Structure 1
Amino acid sequence: MYTLGLNAYHGDSSACIYHFNELIVATEEERIRRIKHWAGLPTEAVKFCLDEAGITLAEVDVIAISRDPRAKLGAKAWYALRKGVKWSSILDRAKNSLNVGAFKKDLAEAFGYAEADLKARVVYAEHHRSHMASAYFVAPFDEAAILSIDGMGDFSSTMRGRSRNGKIEVIDSVSYPHSLGIFYTAFTQLLGFPHYGDEYKVMGLAPYGQPTELDKVAQTIHLKANGLFELDPRFFRHFKEGVKMDWEGGSPHVDTLFTPAMEELFGPVRGKDEPLSDNHRNLATSVQRMAEKVIFHLAEGLYKKTGLKNLCLAGGVAQNSVANGKLVANTSFEKLFVPPAGHDAGTSIGAALYALHQVGDQVRAPFRHQAYTGAQFSNEAIEAYLQSRGIGYQRYSDDELFPVVADALIQGGVIGWFQGRAEFGPRALGNRSIIVDPSRADAKDLLNSKIKRRESFRPFAPSILKEAVEEYFEQADDVPFMEKVFLIRPEKRAVIPAVTHVDGTGRLQTVAAQDNPRYHRLIAAFAEKSGVPILLNTSFNENEPIVNTPEHALECFLRTQMDMLVLENVVICRENT
């Protein structure tokens, strides 16, 4: 039985295929179309998944989509009438729901079929139930509380639940217009970061300020005695006007979310070229602290309702790795699991898992880390491509390769590292990464001058051998997906300055030999020569989606000042181009 999971007509569109309960492949549409957060029907991702599975669309048995146009219909209608939301906003949402409802027809036509030619049964998995499924059904826990938090999907912004007899049981939810994701996005826009998905910039800026605005920020969002929250409508446009979201050309865009009342309280929106002030930094700190407070409140309230010690967390807000790193210390939970794609792209996997395990009776597969699910290329295919481009290279055996790359890192090289299957999710985890020696105090400047050209306050992450975590970090945990930020031990901060943030933290990725043997071997080779079991790891891209193919990697290498490009066992040096 083949199950095709989709996140469609939504930002971060994606697709995956399961054969019974085994994930074959998953990828995001943006990786192929090269448009960040691509939204719409992910036809290229579907084509890739079908090709990898060796089947046609007509052979798919179940198509699961992470939306349900029937969800909370009554609440939607009552909200629109009670709040007097603009009719144009209602029409926009209705049009999107119709697209979701007709997507099987759209998908069939995109692949040259009539709808009747597709035997697949369609399963609509509500947005937040898909998020919850994407975390719980792949988690290392049999019993767990489950929490999903994001902007909004199917008229919910937060959903809390638990596992019971291998199924997900929903306990309660927060309905639109109240939304922690919208709270964070509104302040992201006010701070002058207007693009879809810019929230991580506020998280990166937050350690540079002080929470001087926390009392004022607390006026905009209120904690409730039932463990939930609500927004103050005075500060958010969508309560009265509705807010338009579109994706012309595939690139998502959200209109301004904050009202003039927010500007009166915090000052005017930061201009495009306006430098960051202490006021901006302090506001970022205060917003991050308030978001953490709400997350901990939601989690602790869920613990009181379930008594369970394990928590599965998903949704766009689950990408807030700073909050994730503090959650166990600030709640009664003992263990936290966040999947590699906690954001909306992960709902394609969640929808498939929901169809398999919640609607169907498939047994959960044994736990294993699944982050490397995308495109892969052989050495022979890479060599053929480079020869077609006239690019000089050298191919090494594994025994030769790792010392060569380790030496280049020690000599100050900025290296593009491309191997295995591409990662699924927003973070490079050692298969589509740019790597640097973390002991170099000038590494951030090197990267930003040669490749990234991004804001100076944004940190770079440490990939560390799993067996060395306790030596370098104050908390020992398994963090394979770079999903938590922890404090670096004070005596080690000067050893790895390139990956130590201004507040002494690092967004670590623990690398285990069984999960990624080649990346583990590279870090070990570097450690043998340098004494440091860590590499600086940042995503292999330059203001674009993470590279997906050898062509993408080569083009990024050629237009930047990267020193070396490693494509599997094939090495290209700057002097060869």
Structure 2
Amino acid sequence: MLILGINAYHPDSSACILKDGKLIAAVEEERFLRIKHWAGFPFESIKYCLNSAEAGLQDIDHIAVSRDPMAKAVNKALFVLKNRINWHLLNSRLNNLLKINKIGDELSSKFKLPKRRLKARFHYIEHHRSHLASTYLVSPFNDSAIVSVDGFGDFSSCMAATGQGNKIKVIYSIDYPHSLGIFYTAITQFLGFNKFGDEYKIMGLSAYGQPKYMNQLGKILLIKPSGSFKLNLDYFSFYKSGTAMLWDNTEPKLGLLYSEKMIEEFGSARNPDGQITPFYCDIACSLQKAYENVFFHILNYVYEVSKNPRLCLAGGCALNSLANGKIFENTPFKEVYIQPASSDAGGALGAAYYVYNNLLNEERNFIMDNAYWGPIFSDGQLSEEIKKYSNQLESLNCLVTRHQDDLFSVTASLIAEGKVVGWFQGRMEWGPRALGNRSILADPRRQEIKDILNARIKRREWFRPFAPAILEEKIPEFFDVDYPEPFMLKVYNVKEEKKGLIPAVTHVDGTARLQSVNEKQNPYFWKLIKAFYEKTSIPVLLNTSFNENEPIVCTPAEALDCFIRTKMDALVLGNYIINKP
């Protein structure tokens, strides 16, 4: 049985494919089109998934879409009547929903397959049910509490459930316009970060401030009984006039979410090019704290209802690694699983598994314990690509060498010498984090390496931290936890006596967003970190995404382009090491 999962006409468009319940491939469209968070129809992603399964569109049995245009239709209609939504924007939303309903036509057209040959049955799965399924149904848990929190989708912004075996039972949901995700995004916009997906920057910035504005934010985000919350809508503009949401075959864009009352409360919003003053740092810190208060309020209520010590998280807010790292100390939960693509990209995965396990009642037979589900390139393909770039590499006086047994030792030596190394191996990561297959690596012992990376390669804001990748068995030696974190989705405290050993990956507040690595999940990356450990006695590498203000590189050509145009010192493509003089 083949099931194709799709997230279309929504940010982070993506696709995945299951064969008899086992994941074969999963990928985001942005990696092919080179536009961050690309929203539209994921044609290239679907094509890749079909090729990975050695199947044609005509072979697919079920197509699962992570949206349900009919979900909460009455609630939507009542909201529109009550709030007199701008007709132009309402028409835009309706057109988006119509496109969801016509995905079969789009597939037939794109793949030049007559609809009569498309045997697949279509399933439209509610946005947050897709999120819930995307984490629980691929988790290692046989039962758990499940929570999805994001901006909104299919008129909900939060949904909680319990999972038992292959079934998911919804406990409660919170409807639009009350949204923890929109609250966070609105203040992110006020702080001058207006691009879609900029919220993660606030987590880094918050460490430079103090929570001085909790009283003001407490008037805007209100905690209610039974795990609920409300926005004081006087501070927001999106719910009345309707906020422009451009996410059709483009980079997604959001209009302004906050109202003039927000400016009356806090003063002038920061210009995107303006200075980041202590005032804005304090607002960032207060925002993160206010978010956490409500987030833990939700989780504690869900625990009280479920009485289950295991938790699965999903939705865009599950990328808030600062909050995720505090779950154990602020709730009774003892185990937490977060699927690596917890954003809307993961909806494709969740829709597919919801169909397989919930609707078709098939037993669960897959656990996602690694994030490597994207394209892979053979040694021959890597060699051919290097040949194509031979003139450019020669003009930079690069030395290309091929290695076998000493690949890890030689690369570890380069990093230990202070070199910045691009590392391109195996299948590309699924989700927003580079986890050792499309990574830029550096020595965590060197404080100055942060400035070098920001100035020479990444060209990003000064306040954003870099992450450590650590041998799994060494976690308790360096961090205040002993819990694997293979997907880099939780921030923990670095032990006091270790901060000076890994300053390049220790943030100003003494924390780090760690990635644990074991030999089973990623043997190549594990061997490299182990080789570095043997040379330096430090079982940690600085690991950041292989990109320069673009989506993470997918192909060897993109890796070579990034290597050539930046001041990276070396590039490892499979078994090839390319050194700049």
CA distance, structure 2, for counterparts of residue 314 and residue 127 of structure 1: 11
The residue number in structure 1 matching 2:533 is 527
User: Is 2:456 aligned against 1:456?
Assistant: no
User: Is 2:84 aligned against 1:84?
Assistant: yes
Q: Which moved more, 1:104-113 or 1:497-506?
A: 104-113
CA distance, structure 2, for counterparts of residue 384 and residue 154 of structure 1: 46
- Of the three residues 470, 479, 493, the one matched with 1:473 is 479
User: Is 2:103 aligned against 1:97?
Assistant: no
The residue number in structure 2 matching 1:205 is 205
The residue number in structure 2 matching 1:441 is 447
Residues 313-362 of structure 1: CA deviation (Å, up to 9, x unaligned): 00000000000000121011111111101111111111111110011122
Please state how far the C-alpha of 1:165 moved relative to its aligned partner. 4.1
The residue number in structure 1 matching 2:238 is 238
- Counterpart of 1:434, as a letter, is I
Please state how far the C-alpha of 1:399 moved relative to its aligned partner. 1.6
CA distance, structure 1, for counterparts of residue 224 and residue 13 of structure 2: 33
CA distance, structure 1, for counterparts of residue 438 and residue 165 of structure 2: 38
- Counterpart of 1:455, as a letter, is E
- Counterpart of 2:451, as a letter, is D
CA contact (8 A) 1:487 1:505 kept: yes
Please state how far the C-alpha of 1:244 moved relative to its aligned partner. 1.4
CA distance, structure 2, for counterparts of residue 510 and residue 69 of structure 1: 39
Please state how far the C-alpha of 1:166 moved relative to its aligned partner. 2.5
Residues 260-290 of structure 1: CA deviation (Å, up to 9, x unaligned): 0001101121112210011100000000001
CA distance, structure 1, for counterparts of residue 327 and residue 367 of structure 2: 23
CA distance, structure 2, for counterparts of residue 547 and residue 278 of structure 1: 35
CA contact (8 A) 1:393 1:570 kept: no
TM-score, normalised relative to structure 2: 0.98
CA distance, structure 2, for counterparts of residue 173 and residue 146 of structure 1: 12
Q: RMSD in angstroms over aligned alpha carbons?
A: 1.0
CA distance, structure 2, for counterparts of residue 397 and residue 446 of structure 1: 28
The residue number in structure 2 matching 1:283 is 283
Please give the secondary structure, in 1, of the residue aligned with 2:241.
coil
CA contact (8 A) 2:238 2:256 kept: no
- Counterpart of 1:424, as a letter, is W
CA contact (8 A) 2:444 2:504 kept: yes
CA contact (8 A) 2:9 2:248 kept: no
- Counterpart of 1:307, as a letter, is K
Please state how far the C-alpha of 1:368 moved relative to its aligned partner. 4.5
CA contact (8 A) 1:452 1:542 kept: yes
Residues 364-414 of structure 1: CA deviation (Å, up to 9, x unaligned): 124341300001111111111211222465443432111110110111100
CA contact (8 A) 1:246 1:253 kept: yes
The residue number in structure 2 matching 1:343 is 343
- Counterpart of 1:106, as a letter, is E
Give the 5 Å matches for 1:124-523: 124-247=124-247, 249-390=249-390, 391=393, 394-523=400-529
- Alpha carbons of 1:205 and 1:548: their partners in 2 closer, same or farther (altered >3 Å)? same
Please give the secondary structure, in 2, of the residue aligned with 1:208.
coil
The residue number in structure 2 matching 1:120 is 120
CA distance, structure 2, for counterparts of residue 368 and residue 37 of structure 1: 23
Residues 17-70 of structure 1: CA deviation (Å, up to 9, x unaligned): 110111111110000000000000100111111111111111111110100001
CA distance, structure 1, for counterparts of residue 104 and residue 329 of structure 2: 45
CA contact (8 A) 1:7 1:65 kept: yes
Ranges of 4+ aligned residues in structure 1 off by more than 3 Å: 391-398
CA contact (8 A) 1:143 1:163 kept: yes
The residue number in structure 1 matching 2:557 is 551
CA distance, structure 1, for counterparts of residue 434 and residue 385 of structure 2: 23
CA contact (8 A) 1:158 1:173 kept: yes
CA distance, structure 1, for counterparts of residue 564 and residue 157 of structure 2: 42
The residue number in structure 2 matching 1:49 is 49
CA contact (8 A) 1:379 1:570 kept: no
CA distance, structure 2, for counterparts of residue 398 and residue 217 of structure 1: 57
User: Is 2:570 aligned against 1:572?
Assistant: no
Please state how far the C-alpha of 1:107 moved relative to its aligned partner. 1.4
Please state how far the C-alpha of 1:249 moved relative to its aligned partner. 4.9
Q: Give aligned-pair identity as a percent.
A: 48
CA contact (8 A) 1:371 1:423 kept: yes
CA contact (8 A) 2:399 2:580 kept: no
CA contact (8 A) 1:157 1:175 kept: yes
- Alpha carbons of 1:161 and 1:264: their partners in 2 closer, same or farther (altered >3 Å)? same
CA distance, structure 1, for counterparts of residue 290 and residue 481 of structure 2: 23
The residue number in structure 2 matching 1:62 is 62
Please state how far the C-alpha of 1:438 moved relative to its aligned partner. 0.1
Q: For structure 2, list consecutive stretches of 5 or more residues without a partner in the other structure.
A: none
- Alpha carbons of 1:102 and 1:366: their partners in 2 closer, same or farther (altered >3 Å)? closer
CA contact (8 A) 1:465 1:523 kept: yes
CA contact (8 A) 2:22 2:366 kept: no
- Counterpart of 2:410, as a letter, is V
CA distance, structure 1, for counterparts of residue 40 and residue 546 of structure 2: 25
